Structure 1
Amino acid sequence: MAQHLKQFKIVCSDLDGTLLSTKNDVSDFTVSIIQQIKDKVMIILVSARMPKSIQYLQQRMGIENHPTICYNGALIQHEGKTLYSETISGETLKGIAEISKSMGIKLGLYSDDDWFVSETSERVQKEIFNTKTYPIFENTEVTLSRWTSKKKGAHKIMLMGQEEVLDRVFSELETKFANQVHSYRSSDTIIEMSPKKASKLSAITSLLAPNETLDDILAFGDNYNDIEMIQKVGFGVAVGNARNEVKAVADAVTYANTEDGVAKFLHDRL
């Protein structure tokens, strides 16, 4: 059992469904707890989000001088500087795009702080609301063609489609591109893909100081892409609304994100 926050040097937390108490914000209670501990431990926000959809949350909590892990570990930034960047290659992007097009699946393409979609939709509008960021509207083939000419890849791909269509295509994509990407379902209507070489855990590990180990980390999460992080750190906590697979590997389960589970866990260990 984690007895006291003093046992840890770093607190890592996922955002959506974990630290966020609503779809796009943290509660005042969470802000107050983070501000109490921010000078005692490093607080690293670890998310599938793009940089600017994490930065407004950092500013709200007063932790702009702490590093951020974006795109499930594919991009690490600290005070505006990129410390690490790994992308999905143009060849892999083309293959995923061809399969997606044949199935009527729309793509969201992410690179650095840019998000490209071909058209708006209910799902795109939800993403705008949730992340407080806006996409660039451009035909996917045009985006990919330009990226290919510049030898540029994607930090993340979001596949948006009907649940039954994604059910059918998920295993095909996972098998065909197993060596190039990590794939997971972030919701019934979304598949997210990030570079195979990157993960939340590998990104966290790369930020450790010479005198630090994974045992020095307290981490919080809720979804499939948090499992490895929750398993491997010194103490992993699942929020009450987490998937059962996350709860199964966690050292403890706290309240749901809508009940300030992360902040309450931290508060009880101050």
Structure 2
Amino acid sequence: MNYKILCSDLDGTLLTSKSDVSELTIAEIRRIKTHMRIILVSARMPSAMTYLQQDLGIEDQPIICYNGALVLDGTQELSSVHIDTDHLDEIYGLAKANGTQLGLYHKNEWYVPTDSERVQKEIRYTKTTPVFRPTSETLSDWKDRELGAHKIMLMSTKAHADTLYPILEEELGTHLNLYRSNDTLIEIAPKSVSKLSAIQSLLRQDESLEHVISFGDNYNDIEMLQNSGCGVAVGNAREEVKAISNAVTLANTENGVAHYIRKHLVI
């Protein structure tokens, strides 16, 4: 198949370390980038993705942020879908009763109520910095500015997340996308968008999903991998992701994406 677009998740997939792409990945992406479009697809905020675009030499390409809730082409906003304030208030109430903190994201704004080990990890891994202020103040500010959240990250213990997740599913599952990114984190995004829908929105007239080769590792990558012309799971992917993929490559720490590109995308 003559692939025209390569779409890749970042964390646990294209990133060899927690925050960077390897020299091998940079070399392979730069080798093929004049022959196909390279689109980064992530749950990250824009500023946590653009430095990777620069490393890869693909700043001229669009990026899909927040699992599809925000799509940018340079400074141009191609699409934006957010979680409204009514749902934000409800999530805040449920989380507060559960002893869980909210990380709130809108475009390049990131707010957390207090510092923590989890927040420090996010700062190190994504090379971004949050604003520290009470969640109630952020929600009040956003109401005044008529803003919503492109993503919510619920940060707690495993026990609290185990309790809270089914409650959120029951109360809000029909309106919002929820998934566990790990044992202590629950991520929430708008229901009407996904990585797949964002990719579809970027297809040109002569392109279809059959022209897409995609790479991923987690639950929020499944739809993208299933519907691409070729969906490739990295070796460290969840078993459910490997099961639906067309192929499985090496782990992200072993440059799995770069090795697959080198072997199968001969330009």
Q: Which blocks of at least 5 consecutive residues in structure 1 are unaligned?
A: 1-5
**Residue 119 of structure 2 is aligned to residue 129 of structure 1:** no
Partner of 1:145: 140
Q: Which blocks of at least 5 consecutive residues in structure 2 are unaligned?
A: none
AA aligned to 1:257 is: N
User: Per-residue deviation at 1:171?
Assistant: 1.1
* Contact 1:88 1:180 (8 Å CA) reproduced: no
SS at 2:96's partner residue? helix
User: Per-residue deviation at 1:175?
Assistant: 1.8
**Residue 194 of structure 2 is aligned to residue 199 of structure 1:** yes
AA aligned to 1:154 is: A
Q: TM-score, normalised by structure 2?
A: 0.98
Deviation string, structure 1 residues 209-246 (Cα, Å, up to 9, x no partner): 01111000000000000000000111000000000110
AA aligned to 1:188 is: D
SS at 1:17's partner residue? helix
User: Per-residue deviation at 1:150?
Assistant: 2.2
AA aligned to 1:161 is: S
Partner of 1:110: 105
Aligned partners of 2:74, 2:80: CA distance in 1, in Å?
A: 15
User: Per-residue deviation at 1:151?
Assistant: 2.0
Partner of 1:40: 35
Specify which of 227, 232, 238 is matched with residue 222 of structure 2.
227
AA aligned to 2:261 is: L
AA aligned to 1:126 is: K
**Residue 147 of structure 2 is aligned to residue 168 of structure 1:** no
Deviation string, structure 1 residues 61-94 (Cα, Å, up to 9, x no partner): 1000011000000000011211000000000000
User: Per-residue deviation at 1:179?
Assistant: 2.6
Partner of 2:66: 71
Q: TM-score, normalised by structure 1?
A: 0.97
Identical counterparts, % of pairs = 52
Could you list the runs of 4 or more consecutive aligned residues of structure 1 that deviate by over 4 angstroms after TM superposition? Answer: none
AA aligned to 1:226 is: D
Partner of 1:23: 18
Aligned partners of 2:74, 2:164: CA distance in 1, in Å?
A: 39
Superposition CA RMSD, Å: 0.7
Deviation string, structure 1 residues 237-264 (Cα, Å, up to 9, x no partner): 0000000110010000000000000000
Aligned length: 265
Q: Which residues of 2 match residues 250-261 of structure 1 at below 5 A? A: 250-261=245-256
User: Per-residue deviation at 1:7?
Assistant: 1.4
* Contact 1:109 1:157 (8 Å CA) reproduced: yes
AA aligned to 2:70 is: L
User: Per-residue deviation at 1:148?
Assistant: 1.4
Aligned partners of 1:112, 1:175: CA distance in 2, in Å?
A: 28
Partner of 1:187: 182
Aligned partners of 1:150, 1:123: CA distance in 2, in Å?
A: 28
SS at 1:175's partner residue? helix
AA aligned to 1:64 is: E
Aligned partners of 2:27, 2:145: CA distance in 1, in Å?
A: 45
**Residue 261 of structure 2 is aligned to residue 266 of structure 1:** yes
